[in-house]
Amino acid sequence: MQIRNDNTALIVIDVQNDFCSGGALEVPDGDSIVGTVNALMEVAARSVLTQDWHPVDHSSFASSHEGKAPFSTTEMPYGTQVLWPDHCVQETDGADFHPDLRVQSATHTVRKGFRREIDSYSAFFENDRSTPTGLHEHLSSRRVDSILCVGLATDFCVYYSVMDALALGYTVAICEEACRAIDLEGSLAAARADMWRGGALAVSVDEIPGAAGN
């Protein structure tokens, strides 16, 4: 995939402290992708960071539901919601990007999940599937029609972003070397099957001109 082109954007999803080592919602081995993500950002003509940005009492937190434990579920007006440990709370260290992530290479940042009553996995829509984050409008205004997705976690925020991007008509690729998963009860296998079935492409960093010494 040629990510030096202006019509292609690298979408870097939620590489934040709370999803990395020692974080409140640690994705196993999440830190290990930062070097690869940085290399891709150095090459990309356009790179967008997404950032979970929750209020302290967000409805997706188990602590907001009496008697509920983290990783249990509840029903929201928009459907079944996994309840998470408190994470990525606005203006906290956990919400900050990983300190080694070269944020200065990004051309745009999208914050999501800041509405108390709606969680947001996708870079494009909140979990009600209708409230936009503004990313599609941003990319469309710049005539971007192809995206490469990387980040955390493969089976949640990366997966939902990929599926929304496909539905919006983008050509979508995933560099799995720059992703890591939570894998709750087979969620990774299910997500991968859906993404490939939906038309997403698997791309290795070795196939991207300019990255990994190419």
Locate the domains of the chain by residue range: 8-54+98-207
Quick: pLDDT tens for 128-162: 999 999 999 999 999 999 999 999 999 999 999 99
Strands 146-152 and 171-180: parallel
Mind telling me the catalytic residues? 14, 112, 157
The whole-model pTM stands at 0.95
Query: Nearest-CA neighbor of 101 among 139, 147, 152?
Result: 152
Residue 157 DSSP SS3 = helix
CA dihedral 120, 134, 98, 21 (to 10 degrees): 20
SS3 label, residue 107:
coil
Q: Which CATH class is domain 8-54+98-207?
A: alpha beta
Comparing CA positions, the residue from 37, 83, 75 lying closest to residue 176 is: 37
Q: Is residue 116 exposed (0-12), middle (13-18) or buried (19+ Cβ within 10 Å)?
A: middle
Question: What is the per-residue pLDDT across 190-200, written as a single tens digit (0 to 9) for each?
Answer: 999 999 999 99
What does the pLDDT read at residue 212? 65
Determine the Cα–Cα distance for residues 151 and 149; give it in Å rounded to an integer: 7
- Strands 47-52 and 8-13 come out as parallel
Q: How confident is the model at residue 214 (pLDDT cuts 50, 70, 90)?
A: very low
